[in-house]
């Protein structure tokens, strides 16, 4: 199976030559990341009513590549046969550490020079780092891989957001974050209004606003390796509106407050109170973006007793007040 351009709406081929992306697929690559990126480019073509973007599927060989969901995706060209490239997108998945990446590294060393942009989807940033392309760069990576990535590539700065789009070395943390990354690429080339039209075409406008706030370094109850910390976080996630004290959480978990403080510092680097606040503020951001509830109601629904305290905490976390975010939403 090969991802193809939808024929539901005609796209004309007049105008400048399309911006070409070379997608390099590795075995067990993230299918969701690939389709998210290609569908975003295709929707840009539909909004423009002409082919402003095109793509070709590459592999380290000419053989079809199996995706994370078991689909065989045909390859247009082997990486070694690509004469030049403007935008290279490396797409990989959960088996990244088991891959033989020699051919990829050779190909990237030859092609990724000058103003060539290289992007990693899924776990692609890991392979880019292995190829020596990320020293001194900034990367977004899924929370599952952050600790290992920091240890093996200390010269790469990991950000807390879902994607990096403002340099020649870009990345997304996986899944649908590729949509946000490619919408940013589109915005850089064609402006904010056009990118917003593409997001609207994809019914993605509210989600796009939300994704800009997502902190991928905030673990949830499913991603923390310690069972006790996981149970405490689960309790936090269930008690957003009426938060309880760390002492109560510790008692529910059958440990002392001092123990829970020590465990959170060890596994998360922050106190239980700080993590609890992050969970509540992230929920508040979702409510502000996805609903029309009055701000005072959002504050109460996420455990803040006064709008002023809510506003201060919100601005400290996201760099803008709830009122500024809500006003921005109205003008988008």
Give buried/exposed letters for 68-98 (b at 16+ CB in 10 A, else e): beeeebebeebbeebeebebbbbbbbbebee
Q: For residue 152, what pLDDT is reported? A: 80
Indicate the length of the chain as a whole number. 332
Residue 224, classified by CB atoms within 10 Å of its CB into exposed (0-12), middle (13-18) or buried (19+), is buried
Distance CA 325, CA 281 (A): 13
Give the number of other CB atoms < 10 A from CB of residue 37.
Answer: 25
183: which 2 tokens? 């919408």
Give the number of other CB atoms < 10 A from CB of residue 316.
Answer: 10
Q: Give residue-wise pLDDT tens across range 58-103.
A: 999 999 999 999 999 999 999 999 999 999 999 999 888 888 889 9
Give buried/exposed letters for 290-304 (b at 16+ CB in 10 A, else e): eeeeebeebbbbbbb
Residue 145's closest CA among 166, 167, 129, 169? 129
Residue 75's closest CA among 40, 32, 34? 34
Give the pLDDT band of residue 206 (cuts 50, 70, 90): low
Answer whether 126's CB lies under 8 Å from 29's CB: no
Task: Report, in angstroms and rounded to the nearest whole number, the Rg of the chain calculated over CA atoms.
Answer: 22
Mean pLDDT of 20-32: 96
Q: Hey, which CATH number is domain 227-331, 3.40.50.300, 3.90.1300.10, 1.10.10.60, 2.60.40.10?
A: 1.10.10.60
User: Which of residues 102 and 237 earns the better pLDDT score?
Assistant: 102
Q: Give residue-wise pLDDT tens across range 172-202.
A: 988 888 999 999 999 999 999 999 999 999 9
300: which 2 tokens? 């109460």
Answer whether 56's CB lies under 8 Å from 76's CB: yes
Distance CA 144, CA 320 (A): 29
Residue 57 has pLDDT above 90, yes or no: yes
Distance CA 196, CA 184 (A): 10
Q: Give residue-wise pLDDT tens across range 117-171.
A: 999 998 999 999 999 999 889 998 877 777 668 778 888 988 877 899 999 999 9
- C-beta pairs of 162-168 under 8 Å, 24+ apart in sequence: 162/211, 162/214, 162/216, 164/138, 164/139, 164/140, 167/137, 167/138, 168/115, 168/116, 168/117, 168/118
Answer whether 27's CB lies under 8 Å from 95's CB: yes
Please give the model's pTM, rounded to 2 decimal places. Answer: 0.65
CA distances from 79 to 19, 99, 109, 113, 259 (A): 18, 16, 11, 15, 52
Give the pLDDT band of residue 222 (cuts 50, 70, 90): very low
Distance CA 254, CA 263 (A): 13
Average pLDDT over the chain reads 86
Least confident interval from 16-20, 97-101, 310-314: 97-101
Give the number of other CB atoms < 10 A from CB of residue 215.
Answer: 16
Residue 189's closest CA among 53, 88, 22, 316? 53
Answer whether 79's CB lies under 8 Å from 104's CB: yes
Is domain 19-211 given the CATH code 3.40.50.9100 in the classification?
no
Ramachandran region of residue 87, left (φ > 0), alpha (ψ -120 to 50) or beta?
A: beta
Intra-chain end-to-end CA distance of the chain, in Å: 37
Give the pLDDT band of residue 212 (cuts 50, 70, 90): low
**Domain definitions of the chain by residue range:** 19-211, 227-331
């Amino acid at each position: 199976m090969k991802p193809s351009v939808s024929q539901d709406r005609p796209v004309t081929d007049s105008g400048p030559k399309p911006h070409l992306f070379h997608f390099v697929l590795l075995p067990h690559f993230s299918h969701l990341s690939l389709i998210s990126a290609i569908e975003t480019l295709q929707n840009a073509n539909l909004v423009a009513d002409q082919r402003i973007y095109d793509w070709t599927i590459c592999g380290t060989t000419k053989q079809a590549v199996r995706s994370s969901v078991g689909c065989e995706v045909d390859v247009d060209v082997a990486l070694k046969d690509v004469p030049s490239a403007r935008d290279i997108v490396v797409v990989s998945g959960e088996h990244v550490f088991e891959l033989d990446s020699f051919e990829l590294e050779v190909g990237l060393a030859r092609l990724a020079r000058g103003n060539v942009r290289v992007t990693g989807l899924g776990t692609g940033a890991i392979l880019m780092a292995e190829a020596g392309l990320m020293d001194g760069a900034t990367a977004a990576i899924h929370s599952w891989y952050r600790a290992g990535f920091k240890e093996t590539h200390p010269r790469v700065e990991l950000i807390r957001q879902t994607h990096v789009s403002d340099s020649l070395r870009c990345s997304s943390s996986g899944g649908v974050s590729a949509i946000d990354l490619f919408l940013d690429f589109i915005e850089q080339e064609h402006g904010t209004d056009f990118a917003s039209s593409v997001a609207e075409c994809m019914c993605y406008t509210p989600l796009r606003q939300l994704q800009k706030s997502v902190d991928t370094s905030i673990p949830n109850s499913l991603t923390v390796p310690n069972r006790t910390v996981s149970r405490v976080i689960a309790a936090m996630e269930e008690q957003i509106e009426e938060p309880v004290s760390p002492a109560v959480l510790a008692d529910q978990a059958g440990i002392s407050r001092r123990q829970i403080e020590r465990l959170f510092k060890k596994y998360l680097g922050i106190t239980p109170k700080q993590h609890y606040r992050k969970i509540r503020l992230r929920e508040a951001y979702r409510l502000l973006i996805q609903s029309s509830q009055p701000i005072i109601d959002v504050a109460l629904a996420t455990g803040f007793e006064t709008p002023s305290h809510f506003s201060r905490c919100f601005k400290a976390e996201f760099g803008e007040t709830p009122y500024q975010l809500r006003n921005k939403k109205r003008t988008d």
